[in-house]
Chains A and B, each alone.
Chain A
C-alpha cells in the first residue's frame, strides 16, 4: 500500500515508532476522539426502536449460511450472469485479479479508468498494477481520491481520509489544481466535484466493488453516499466489478437484510444515499449495440480455504462496515494506518495474516487489549478478539514462540513452580517496596522493564498470599445459605489479598460457606493473550481437576477477567478435551457482583456516603454482559454511584498488551483518568484486580487525586 510501509516485514521497533508518532499527532488524536464519541450516539440513534441484536444475528446467520453454500452460490451466479451477459472471471490470487483486469483494459483498448471505492481493490493493490501497465486510474470517492493523491492507503474502511485535516486537504488540492484553495470544507468538496467530472466523462472503463453479489438474479448491489458508483457504472463503456467470493448471497432478500444493518453500523446512517442494483450490462449509448461491456472478477485470495476452516470461517461473515475500528480503544489512539495493513481495525488484525501474510500481521496482531468492544458491535457477529488471539497463537506456532512467552507458558503450566517463583520474587523485592496508603508499591521497576513501562507504578507482591491466609479467615458456617468455591486468580491471590479478605467478611455475614481449592491455578487468560494456547488449555484442565463441583452451588471470583475467561474462554479451549466438564464448571461461574447482588441479595448499608465512579471492566460489561449488578452493589454499600463518560471503555491494561505497547496503554489510561476526574467522584471502584493495578498505578504515577478500590472493599471496609 503506502510506500513507507513497503512490502518487507516491519520490525516491532519500527512499528512502535510509528505508534509513537501517531500518539503525538494532535490532529489525529482529536479527530479520532471526536469520532469515537459521535459514532456511538449516531449508531444508537440509527438503531433506536429496533432489536439490534436480532438484526445482527440475522446478518450473521445469512452470511454464515452463504459461506457454507459459497460454491453452490458461485455456480448459480455464473449461470445467471451468463444469461444476463456478464463476463465472469475467477481470480485465484490478488495478482490474478489484477492481471485479469489489466487484460480486459487491453482487449477493450481502455486507457483511462475511473474507480469507485473498493476495499477488495485495495487488497489486491489494483491501482499500482494498472498504473504500472500505463493506465490512468482515478479514484472518485472523495476520501479515496484524497488518499490516492497523497499516495497512501485509506485509514478507515468507510472513511478513508479520516486522519487528514481540512488544511492538509486544502494544500493537496492547491497543488493538484495549481490554484490556492481555502481550507473551507464545502468549497473543497466543490473542487473535487469539478476536478472529477471531467474524469468521469472521459473515462473508458469504470471499476467498482460490490457490497452484494446476488446468485438468484445475477445482480450486484453497490452502496455509496456520493453517487460516484452510479457515474462510474454509467458513463464509461466498460464496467468491471471486483468482489470477493464472500460477497455472494442467495437472493436480494438476504442482501436487503444485510443492507439494513451495514450503514447503521458503519456511520449511523439508516441507509446510504444510493444503493444501486445492477443486473448485467445496462444501456450505454456510446457503444455499438447500445449496451456496455460488463465483467465481474471474483477474488478468492485464500477465501475458499478459509471457508473450510472450522475456526476462521467466520471471518467471511464480515460485511466491511468498519465498526470494529470505530469502537476500538487502540484504533482511537493510533489511527487506521497503525492498526491495519489494508483492512483496518479488529478484522484487519485478522485478515492481514490471511490476505497479506504473516510478516505484515505479526506486530499488528499483538496490538489489542482484548477488550471485546469490537465483538460487541460486529455486524457479522464475529468473535473478533478470539480470532485475533488465535492468529497470534498461529503465528507463534509457525515462527517459534518468543522466549518470554514460552517461559510464561511453561511457568503457568506448572502451578507449584509458578507460585514458588512468586514467593521468591516477593523476597527479592523486599528492599524495593514502599508502603503507601494505597498498599505496597515497587520503588523501581524490575530490570526487565524498560523506561517506557514507567507510566504506572507497579504494586509489590503481598507479604502473604491469600492462599496462606484462607484457613485463618474461614469461619465455619452452620446451615449455610449458599456454598461457594472461591476462585482467586493470580493477581488477587498474590498482590491484592486484601480484596479477597474484604469479600470473606461479607460471605460470613451472609452465611455463605466458602471453600478455596488449593490446586487452583491461573485462569489461563494471560497465556491466551500471549498466544500460548496450549499452556492456557493445560491450566484450564488443572482448574477442572481442582474444583469439586458437586459440593458447591457457585464458583465465585472477584476478578471479572477470570470470570469471563472461565465462563466463555476455557470451554472453547477444552472443546475437544473435556467439553462436558468444562460446561458444567462454566455454568457455576459468577462474578462477585453477580453473586452478591443477584444471588445473596444485599440490604442497604450505612456506608461512607461517597460519590463513586465505576470503571466497568471489559470482561464484565461485554464479557459477561453484566452492567447492573455492580451498580446495585455500590448503591447498597451506602455510597452514591455517579456516571462517568465512557464507563465501559477499556482502561488500557489488557494483560500483556500493556507490557508490549506501554505508550498506547498509557494514553488509553490517561483518557480514562480524565473522564473520572471530570465526573467529580471521590472514589473510583471496579471489579477486576488488573484494572485496579492499571488505574491505581496510573493515578499515582500521574499524581492524581484518585483513589481506586475493588467493589468488595467498599461493601465490607476494614
Chain B
C-alpha cells in the first residue's frame, strides 16, 4: 500500500491520459480527493508551470526554523572518545560531528557520553526533559528500540536480497507496531 503513491509516478493524467507528474491530495468539504495530472494539464489548471526560475534568495530564512546552532564545531570543541557507535543504525560519533545530524533515536543512548556536554551547552545546562509526555510514552524505550532494530535488520535483508527474511521481518514490525 505504501508504494502506491510513488508507483503513482507512473499514473496517467486524469485529464488527458499522458503520464502524470503532478500528484495532489486536496480536502474539499471534508472529502479527500486525489489528483494526478501531467504538466500541461496542471498548468492549464493553474497548478504548475514548466519553468526555470532563478532562485529567490529573499524571504527564505524565516520559513525554516532550522536549529540556530547546528554547527558541528560546537560538538568538535569537545574531545570525545571516537569509539562511540550506534549498533542499530551504524552511525558513529565522528560522523555525527561532521554532519550535525543523528542517524536514529537510539543514538541518544549510544552517544550519551559524547552528547551530554553538547546538550548542556545547547540548552543552558539542561539534560533532562520536563515538558510534555505523549500518551504513547506507554510505548517503552524497549519497544521503540526493538522496532528500530527490526528495521535495521530489514534494511540488511533487503540489501542481501533475502526476501523471505525481509517478509517475515515486515510482519514482525507490523505486529509490534500494533501491540
Tell whether A pairs with B: no
Interface, chain A (partner B; CB < 8 A) = none
Chain B interfacial positions (CB closer than 8 Å to A): none
